[in-house]
Amino acid sequence: MDVAVRKVYFPNWMVPAWWRVAYKILPFIDEKVRQFVEIGPDGKFNEMVGGHVRQLIENGVQPPAAISAPIYNLASQVMNGHELTMGIGDYIALQTFARGGRGDQPSKE
């Protein structure tokens, strides 16, 4: 069941939540590829992201700097009652954070 928080209709994260990732960052992507990729993040990822969004909305707890922008983006959508759509850059940042490191650092040299 969803719960109202400060007049914001807060979806009961993420129990059956299906995120939509907006995949539009590379100009050459074939239009046959759906612009939106629906993903079902695993429980651990879901819990991490949902926890930060909930903490921000309910208690004003700032997320870690590395994922501040994506968490704010999601929180904004939640508070405005929009369907959750995550930019691909936000998704990569969140996944990288969840994996405990910066994935864009060279590691094979």
Partner 1 sequence: MGFDGLPLTIAWELTLACNLRCRHCASAAGVIRSDELTLQECLSVCDQLPDLLVRECDFTGGEPLMRADWPIIAARLVQFGITTQIITNAVALDADAVRQMVDVGISGVGFSVDGLGPTHDSIRMRPGLFDRIVKGIHMVEAAELPATVITTATALNLDELPELLRALHGAGVRRWQIQPIFPVGRGKTHAELHLTNEAYLRLGSIARQLASDGKSLGVEVGVADSCGYFTELDTREIPWRGCPAGRVSLGIASNGDIKGCLSLPDELVEGNIRERTLWDIWFDSTSFRYNREVGVAGPNCRGCEEFEVCGGGCAAMSHGCTGRFHDNPYCFKGIRQRLAVPA
How many residues belong to the site for partner 1 (CB under 8 A)? 33
List the structure tokens of 81. Answer: 């009652």
Among 3, 5, 29, 61, binds partner 1 (CB under 8 A): 29
Among 14, 21, 74, 84, binds partner 1 (CB under 8 A): 21
Among 2, 4, 27, 83, binds partner 1 (CB under 8 A): 27
Of 81, 88, 108, nearest to 2 by C-alpha is 81
* Interaction between residue 31 and partner 1 (CB under 8 A): yes
Closer by beta carbon to partner 1, 8 or else 92: 92
Of 57, 51, 53, nearest to 70 by C-alpha is 53
Binding-site ranges for partner 1 (CB under 8 A):
21, 23, 25-34, 37, 39-42, 45, 88-89, 91-92, 95-96, 99, 102-109
